[in-house]
Amino acid sequence: MSFSSRRRNYLLTPHRRDGLVEWMKQMLTHSFVLDCLEDTGADTFAHFEVLIEEHRIVQDDGSGRPSRLKHLVPTVGTFHTPLPLRQAYELYNQKHRLSKRKHIQISFNELRHILNLAQILAMRKVEVEIPSIVAENWLHGSIRSSSNAAITNSSGDSTANMTSDESETQSHHDTGDQTCLSNGQFNGPRMITFDGDQTLYSDGSNFDSNPRLASYLCQLLKHGVIVAIVTAAGYEYNVEKYEFRLSGLLNYFKAKKLTAEECERFMLFGGECNYLFHLGSDFHLHPVREYGRGGWLTSTKFLADSPANWNEDDITSLLDAAEAAITESIDDMQIRGRVIRKKRAVGLIPNFGRVITREALDETVLRCQAQLQMMNKGTGPQIPFCAFNGGRDVWVDVGNKRVAVEILGSYLGVDATETLHIGDQFLNTGNDYAARDICPCIWITSPDETTYILKTILRFAGANYVVDEDEKEEAKLILSGNIKPVSSTVDFGEVERRVQAVQEMDVFTGELIVK
């Protein structure tokens, strides 16, 4: 979804769902109640398209006048691209038959899926007539290669609103199908950034159990797409700690023998936007130079919110205020947790064996946001920040994912309209929320949904890829570090040790407990 709020900090009602999605749901309720969604559903989504495009024109003309959409949805923000909502609805409805239902109206999650699909369609550089063979493959869960490659694709969605991921089929036909590729270029986003926890791997876990997702990430790199993980995990420049979290994925890249050029397209931003790494041809993460010629801080100093312009006194003041708010929350609500402070973050983590309730976590986040907003006579901190509920903990980070994506785009020369951010925390207490300011976003709820989204991106971009049953089984072993491919000369002993070690790593502190 490409809409956003232009506010730097995000003080909204706790757990407030997206205002635009809720308004769309209300608009569609009328048609559902009258049992005419079959006839009016597509037209309603076409009306949404018109309102969005009007809003985009108004926000670009500099007049300051509100659009019709702004009147209807006061909280609506920026749309970075047009959204082909009618096309997305028709495809989704053809697959899931929403308009055939008589008792259950369209849900918030289904609208989220339709918006996600519309954003994927909008990222294509070349328009392809719908329905096309690509659309048919998406609908029926199979894709045919336009080359001699044998292709196997998972057909389903991982969510309750989508079909099972188990009905996977294989095609070995050279059909000469029309694809979305143009002049050999990937017909999709040039850069995709990902949240870490609950987007690429389960919260607090590491990347070691999703062979399909690893394969799709690998295919994106092979097709020239920049893949960047933007994570709140902040271990400064301690490379081995990030590698522990990504050990299975790095293992997979080794087994697939990515070229040096393909490796260079894999980036990681730690601590929201504070520590930048790239993947080297040795399949290890390497810190990107900060200063001097080619340094990422030097190169992005012209950006107002770049970390290159942050003052250490402002950082200290922000973290002091946040720590005070967290300590107050612990005392007032008798939370069984403790404060942990890092160089660019301060957090609330549970005591060993304890769980902090979601309500207490959200209350703490909103207290931190309110306290920070009061700084400097109510103008807020002098530098960007992010206060969020991490699911089991609360963190206040210096910087946010809007800054990270903006820096990556500037440093790598990728326009915001060619960038896609995928994350799970788009509530006002989440840390993906800020990314909506700078680029189009996809809202997912689990790594399984991320897998489905990447499969959809690859399909509509016309990418050819291979995932057969034998490879899936091998990939599972590769991710777990339990196989040494015959075709590879890479020693996986160290990787296997890291996989075991990450199970003993405190993800809150980064402390390694190796047996």
DSSP string, 58-85: HHHTT--PPPHHHHH-TT----SS---H
Q: Could you tell me if 320 and 366 lie in one domain?
A: yes
Say if CB 51 and CB 68 are below 8 A apart. Answer: yes
Reply yes or no on whether the pLDDT at 173 is more than 70: no
Q: Could you tell me if 277 and 416 lie in one domain?
A: yes
Q: Domain holding 213: CATH number?
A: 3.40.50.1000
Reply yes or no on whether the pLDDT at 221 is more than 80: yes
Reply yes or no on whether the pLDDT at 503 is more than 60: no
Reply yes or no on whether the pLDDT at 76 is more than 60: yes
The lowest-confidence range among 55-69, 123-137, 221-235, 329-343 is 123-137
Q: Domain holding 339: CATH number?
A: 3.30.980
CA terminus-to-terminus distance, the chain: 44
Say if CB 194 and CB 451 are below 8 A apart. Answer: no
| 345-350, strands of its sheet edge to edge | 337-341, 345-350, 394-398, 385-389
pLDDT of residue 134: 61
Q: Could you tell me if 410 and 492 lie in one domain?
A: yes
The larger pLDDT score, comparing residue 32 to residue 44, is at 44
Does 105 map to a domain?
yes
Q: Which two tokens stand for residue 376?
A: 């400097």
CA dist., res. 80 & res. 439, Å (int)? 6
Does 421 map to a domain?
yes
pLDDT of residue 204: 65
How many other C-beta atoms lie within 10 A of the C-beta of residue 197? Answer: 23
Chain-centre distance for alpha carbon 90: 25
pLDDT of residue 428: 73
Does 99 map to a domain?
yes
Nearest CA-CA partner of 400 in 56, 17, 5, 109 = 5
Q: Which segments of 334-446 does DSSP mark as H helices, in order?
A: 358-373, 375-378, 401-412
Q: How far, CA to CA in Å, does 159 sit from each of 12, 112, 125?
A: 28, 12, 28
Q: Could you tell me if 209 and 247 lie in one domain?
A: yes
Q: What is the pLDDT of residues 330-342, one digit of tens each?
A: 999 999 999 999 9
Q: What is the pLDDT of residues 377-389, one digit of tens each?
A: 888 999 999 999 9
Q: Could you tell me if 271 and 409 lie in one domain?
A: yes
Domain boundary among 122, 139, 168: 122
Does 139 map to a domain?
no
Q: What percent of the chain has pLDDT over 90?
A: 55
pLDDT of residue 504: 65
Q: Could you tell me if 427 and 281 lie in one domain?
A: yes
Strands 226-230 and 266-270: parallel
Domain boundary among 73, 94, 122: 122
Nearest CA-CA partner of 360 in 368, 147, 296, 140 = 368
Q: Could you tell me if 215 and 300 lie in one domain?
A: yes
Say if CB 287 and CB 239 are below 8 A apart. Answer: yes
Q: Could you tell me if 409 and 350 lie in one domain?
A: no
Does 127 map to a domain?
no
Q: What percent of the chain has pLDDT over 70?
A: 76
Residue given tokens 């919110």 in the structure block: 305
pLDDT of residue 506: 72
Instruction: Give every CB contact of residue 353 below 8 A, 6+ residues apart in sequence.
Output: none
Q: Which two tokens stand for residue 202?
A: 């389960």
Q: How far, CA to CA in Å, does 507 sit from each of 103, 197, 407, 495?
A: 45, 11, 26, 18
Does 209 map to a domain?
yes
> Any idea how long the chain is?
515
Q: What is the pLDDT of residues 409-420, one digit of tens each?
A: 999 999 999 999
Q: Could you tell me if 295 and 322 lie in one domain?
A: no
The tally of domains found in the chain comes to 3
pLDDT of residue 472: 63
Nearest CA-CA partner of 270 in 303, 241, 236 = 236
Q: Could you tell me if 116 and 201 lie in one domain?
A: no
CA dist., res. 41 & res. 93, Å (int)? 9
Does 5 map to a domain?
no
Domain boundary among 122, 151, 173: 122
CA dist., res. 260 & res. 276, Å (int)? 18
Which residues constitute the domain of residue 99? 19-122
pLDDT of residue 431: 80
Q: Could you tell me if 212 and 298 lie in one domain?
A: yes
DSSP string, 300-356: TTTSTT-GGG--HHHHHHHHHHHHHHHHHHHHHHT-SEEEEE-SSEEEEEEPTT---
pLDDT tier at 166, thresholds 50, 70, 90: very low
Nearest CA-CA partner of 218 in 189, 259, 157 = 259
| Mean model confidence pLDDT for the chain | 81
CA dist., res. 103 & res. 107, Å (int)? 12
Q: How far, CA to CA in Å, does 48 sit from each of 23, 43, 437?
A: 10, 9, 21
Q: What is the pLDDT of residues 445-460, one digit of tens each?
A: 999 999 999 999 999 9
Q: Could you tell me if 330 and 291 lie in one domain?
A: no
pLDDT of residue 424: 87
CA dist., res. 496 & res. 512, Å (int)? 15
Does 242 map to a domain?
yes
